[in-house]
Amino acid sequence: MENPSGELRPGRLLIHGRLNDPMTGGPLYCRILAFEEDLVEFETIYHREDGSERIPKPSRLPLESFLKLVFGRWYEGSSPPPAAPTRPRGQPVPLDPRKIGGRPVGS
């Protein structure tokens, strides 16, 4: 879309154009809260390890900066997809014995 500013409205979701979600490595979602004159107020939606969301204090940027620094593309859903819970850190990763070699000689 060449001019996304025509689509700015409260509640609209978008995918951040420069950042990924640090927990999942996937897309970082943002929600537009308000669009007044040349200011865009939005919230960034981060996922936690358990799959829940963390939404920090909203940000405000001039429209031009928002389009340059934040906007990637529109997300068509009404809410971001849930993040899959991740395996707790420190837990062993199951290994496929077919990929690490056969059984030791003599076993």
Q: Say if residue 30 is exposed, middle or buried (CB neighbours under 10 Å; 0-12, 13-18, 19+).
A: buried
pTM exceeds 0.85: no
| pLDDT tens-digit readout, 6-49 | 788 899 999 999 998 888 888 899 999 999 888 999 999 988 77
